[in-house]
Structure 1
Amino acid sequence: MTGSTAGPATGSVRQQAPAGSRQPLPLVVFVLALGTFLMVTSEFVVAGVLPEIAGDLSVSLAHAGLLITVFAIGMIVGAPTMTLVTLRLSKRSTLLLALAVFIVGHVIVALASDFTILLAARFLTALATGAFWAVASVLAVRLAGTGSGSRALGVVGAGGALAGVAGVPLGAFVGQTLGWRGTFWSIAVLAVVAAAMIARFVPHDAGATEGATIRGELRGLRAPRLWIALVACATTNAAMLSAYAFISPILTDHAGIAIGFVPLVLTCFGVGSLSGTLLASRLGDARPHAVTVVTPAVTCVLLGLLAVITGAPAATIAVVVLLGLFGFSANSVLTLLAVRAAGQAATLGSSLTVSAFNVGTAVGTGVAGLALESSLGVVGPILVGTGFAALTLVPVVALAVLRVSAGRGGAH
């Protein structure tokens, strides 16, 4: 059952369920998850077809790697910028506009023969991705209704996690079978399907923002808890991506795992990540701070353990799978905390989490790369990740303390 419940800038949301009950999530949440599946597949599939792109366009692998870098920059800049540009559009219109730009970007990549044009198209695609992800997160929370926001964000986030398990490997397979351009054509076609489903299932008035202004949105960013949550978003992604970006040499050189088994280990990691995201999101509605504190604490221990395991393939695989289960699982809960802290500026707050996660990715992988080239070798990125995981405990504990203090203040 759905209904229209009046609230500040919320549009149509599900009615609050009776205490103790758990309503099923609306179908539209899963439609939004399909969109995030495509977005994340597009973001990371380039890594799987990078040699083919470099060879076809006669550029070096390092130069071709700029396609990944420019996408991250586009996500960092684009998410909040596009949110402000589309402020007066309905959430439905913004999602459809983002998918249209996303489709055009992939068609350009599939047709282009000039590397500079490819870079521009990937940046354009990143702008659309940031806008879609930010709006989809807020819309999923609002349409799911009170008490199911974390679960809805978990499903949307699971679409991204599933991309790592299925989307990216399938994209790489298509690239090997039909050529790298076939990968981008395939994503463009699937995005058309996603756009049709968005048009069919997302309500016209969902998240309407009549009267919203840029000044009003910026005023909503004064909440300290929002910025603390954003710091946590950045450090938690830095922790995991520091190690994951160099997982192949860590598995082969550090743990002694045969190169042929690396894809299988990564698949197990992806399954763990998908499961962890869904589990944490189910717990996040009732105990969000328990999730956000326990997750980086366990991640810190696991990364520290990974650093001291040498030449132990079975133990390393077990730790990597557990890292998949815990490493990214709190991301949807952190997004929810940021959205709640932003209040009226929920969409802008959500867009800033997209930027924060990508800042963490850029900083984490950059520092880890320097550590890899140091005397620490492949252990360096693991230690960098351990440090960022420990650092994440500072903002998440601060959020928990502020929540307890606010509760005590309310009691008085």
Structure 2
Amino acid sequence: MSKFKLFTFILSVFVVGMVELVVAGILTLISDDLHISRALAGQLVTIYAFTVAISGPILVKLTERYNPKWVLLVSMIIFIIGNIINAVGNDFWIIVIGRIIASAASSIIVVKLLALTVILSDPRERGKMLGLVYIGFSGANVFGVPIGTKLGEMLGWRATFWMIVLVSVIATILLMFQLPNTIKTSEDEDKSSKLLYPKEAAKYIGITFFILASNYIVFTYISPMMLNEGYTLEQVSILLFVCGIGSIAGTSFGGRMADKMGSRKWLLIALTMYTLSIFLFKLSLPVFALLLIVMLIWNIFEWSTNPAIQIGIIKQVKGDSSSIMAWNMSALNAGIGFGALIGGIIINNFDVAITPYVSICLAVICIVLAYTIKR
């Protein structure tokens, strides 16, 4: 895969990731402008995540026999339309419609980009290339959300969505010229897919769900945990930035290690280190320097599992891997929602300090699943 094509894929994943995450940064601006509660405005994030989780496998299955290039381009156009609705909508429910349209389209975009990365990459470097494309998500978190939030503060939250529309148009044009009209799969040009080892695929997808749930049980509520310890909002921002850097490094690093060691072996190492970092989180919480180091390690190893899981999944399928990747993306979004939900229940009924221990339990489930993987 050429460097420019790789850049185009990363940019496309970046803008999709930004749309999902940026609402958290402009939440107050949206709620104030539309005269709704912050809790209601926050449902725009939930709606997006669960629409992706539900629609992804269905839409990918319906489109798997069509030309991937044109499926991707049409999805990008629909994605742009959804975000235009977000930018011009003056009512909460109109914006909900825009979010549903954009999220449904994004569920195809990400899966097709990852599947095309597999097809267009050297088999020996698939993990590396998947890791690099996945950096788009990390970049959206580290750079896209702060930029979108700052733009919203300066020009209004609608300007953030107009910026997303502009970047999406650029990405669509680049995809139009970068992708060949005919894209052949490595398995005798088979555009359909056949799941060869469903139990093994289920284990990888299970790891995706439980590790995201484990992560977001704590990560969603890390700000109040730090504030309870006496930290400032500035220190919270510094920690989140360090976490973002760790996610970028981990995504790239994990892809290379999965290529070198194999998915199962790397997952066992990464998940063990991730679980250890959760255990150390509670101990390091009172000391900011130690907390930064632990959270850096946490994010490096948590994000390093993504490309390893992707590689493991595609080995369980003959033909187009889009459908199985769609199920994995559904598990990812469902895990985020489940983790945030469980964390909220714990905080409302018990103590925020309990969340790391519940997170460790889910991380151990991931290790057990990885240990039972046979291929």
After TM superposition, the score normalised by the length of structure 1 is 0.86
- CA displacement, residues 40-70 of structure 1 (integer Å, 9 cap, x when unaligned): 1110000000011011111101111110010
Asked whether 1:284 is paired with 2:258, we answer yes
Secondary structure class of the residue paired with 1:311: coil
Equivalent-residue separation in structure 2 for 1:273 and 1:211 (angstroms): 34
- Is the 2:76–2:172 contact (alpha carbons within 8 Å) kept by the matching residues of 1? yes
Equivalent-residue separation in structure 2 for 1:91 and 1:162 (angstroms): 25
Which of residues 337, 352, 362 is equivalent to 2:327? 352
Which protein is bigger by CA-based radius of gyration? 1
Residues 1:189 and 1:221: Cα distance change in structure 2 (over 3 Å) = farther
Structure 1 residue 195, shift from structure 2 partner: 0.3
Task: Please tell me the residue identity of whatever aligns with 2:315.
Answer: R
Residues 1:332 and 1:211: Cα distance change in structure 2 (over 3 Å) = closer
Asked whether 1:275 is paired with 2:252, we answer no
Structure 1 residue 283, shift from structure 2 partner: 1.2
Secondary structure class of the residue paired with 1:65: helix
Query: Equivalences for 1:288-367 in 2 at 5 Å?
Result: 288-367=263-342
Equivalent-residue separation in structure 2 for 1:357 and 1:389 (angstroms): 14
Equivalent-residue separation in structure 2 for 1:315 and 1:136 (angstroms): 37
Query: Equivalences for 1:59-208 in 2 at 5 Å?
Result: 59-207=36-184
Which of residues 348, 359, 366 is equivalent to 1:385? 359
Residues 1:308 and 1:95: Cα distance change in structure 2 (over 3 Å) = same
- Is the 1:26–1:143 contact (alpha carbons within 8 Å) kept by the matching residues of 2? no
Task: Please tell me the residue identity of whatever aligns with 2:85.
Answer: I
Equivalent-residue separation in structure 1 for 2:340 and 2:89 (angstroms): 29
Overall identity of the aligned pairs, in %: 24
Residues 1:391 and 1:294: Cα distance change in structure 2 (over 3 Å) = same
- Is the 1:91–1:207 contact (alpha carbons within 8 Å) kept by the matching residues of 2? no
Structure 1 residue 98, shift from structure 2 partner: 1.4
Secondary structure class of the residue paired with 1:329: helix
Structure 1 residue 310, shift from structure 2 partner: 4.6
Equivalent-residue separation in structure 1 for 2:128 and 2:332 (angstroms): 20
Structure 1 residue 349, shift from structure 2 partner: 0.6
- CA displacement, residues 227-253 of structure 1 (integer Å, 9 cap, x when unaligned): 111101111111112111112112221
Task: Please tell me the residue identity of whatever aligns with 2:255.
Answer: S
- CA displacement, residues 44-99 of structure 1 (integer Å, 9 cap, x when unaligned): 00000001101111110111111001001111012111112222221111111111
Secondary structure class of the residue paired with 1:147: helix
Residues 1:211 and 1:335: Cα distance change in structure 2 (over 3 Å) = closer
Structure 1 residue 259, shift from structure 2 partner: 1.8
After TM superposition, the score normalised by the length of structure 2 is 0.95
Equivalent-residue separation in structure 2 for 1:334 and 1:100 (angstroms): 29
Secondary structure class of the residue paired with 2:36: coil
Query: Equivalences for 1:365-404 in 2 at 5 Å?
Result: 365-375=340-350, 377-399=351-373, 402-403=374-375
The alignment yields a C-alpha RMSD, in angstroms, of: 1.9
- The number of aligned residues is 373
Q: Which runs of 5+ in 2 are unaligned?
A: none
Task: Please tell me the residue identity of whatever aligns with 2:209.
Answer: A
Task: Please tell me the residue identity of whatever aligns with 1:196.
Answer: I
- Is the 1:220–1:345 contact (alpha carbons within 8 Å) kept by the matching residues of 2? no
Structure 1 residue 354, shift from structure 2 partner: 0.5
Instruction: Specify the alignment match of 1:265 in structure 2.
Output: 239
Equivalent-residue separation in structure 2 for 1:362 and 1:183 (angstroms): 24
Equivalent-residue separation in structure 1 for 2:130 and 2:53 (angstroms): 20
Instruction: Specify the alignment match of 1:408 in structure 2.
Output: none
Structure 1 residue 383, shift from structure 2 partner: 2.0
Using CA pairs below 8 Å that are at least 6 residues apart, which structure has the higher relative contact order? 2
Higher deviation after alignment, 126-135 or 281-290: 281-290
Structure 1 residue 356, shift from structure 2 partner: 0.8
Equivalent-residue separation in structure 2 for 1:332 and 1:258 (angstroms): 34
Structure 1 residue 381, shift from structure 2 partner: 2.4
- Is the 2:197–2:316 contact (alpha carbons within 8 Å) kept by the matching residues of 1? no
